[in-house]
Amino acid sequence: MLPKLKSLVAGAFSFLLVFGCDERRLEQTFFNQPFAGWLQRMRQYSLEDQYKIFRYGNDSIEAPLVDLADPIAERGAAAVPFLVGQLKSRTDDLTVRDILLIFQTMARLKSYDVKGDAALMNLLASKVAGVKHKEWRSVCFEMLQRIKHPNLE
C-alpha cells in the first residue's frame, strides 16, 4: 500500500509542477526576457495581460517596476472600466495602491482626465480610506493628492 501512496503523491506533485505554474507563466516569460524593451513589449499585450504583468512586476519584484504602469495608463479611457472593475472586486491594500498608481500615471500623461471623473475620484477616495495598513494608506493618500493637485509633483 505504501508504494502506491508514494506513487500517488509523486504524481500529484508532478501535476502541480506542470499545471500549477501555468498561473504565472505569462509573467515569468515576460520577466525572463532582456530588460531592454520591456515597455515596448508590454504595449503588445492585451489590457488584462498588461495588468497581470504590471501587478507581478510591482508586487513580486524588488525594486517594484512602477514604469510598467505607463502602457496601461496610455490606454486612457479604454482602461478605466477594467481598472474600476478590479478596484470594486478586490479589497486588498496592494490592489488599491497599484491601481492608484496607474490612475496617477494617467493624470501625469494626460491620457485621461482622472480628476474630472467625479465618480472615479469618489471611488478612489473611498478605497484609499479603506486601506488597512497605515503606511500604505499614507502612500495612497499622497497619490490621490497628486491626482487632485498635479502641481504637487
- Torsion over CA: 54, 59, 60, 65 (sign): positive
Helix runs in the chain, H state only: 2-19, 25-32, 38-42, 47-59, 69-73, 80-89, 93-109, 118-129, 134-148
Whole-angstrom Cα distance, residue 93 to residue 75?
A: 24
Q: What is the pLDDT of residue 35?
A: 77
Which residues lie closer than 8 Å to 109 by C-beta, 6 or more apart?
70, 73, 74
Q: What is the model's pLDDT at position 29? A: 87
Please list the pLDDT of the chain residue by residue as tens digits (153 residues): 444 433 433 333 333 333 344 567 888 888 888 878 888 999 999 999 999 999 998 888 777 788 899 999 999 999 999 999 999 998 899 999 999 999 999 999 999 999 999 999 999 999 999 999 999 999 999 999 999 998 765
Task: Note whether 124 and 147 are within 8 A (CB).
Answer: yes
* pTM (two decimals): 0.81
The pLDDT of residue 152 is 67
pLDDT value of position 98: 96
Whose grid coordinates read 512586476?
A: 57
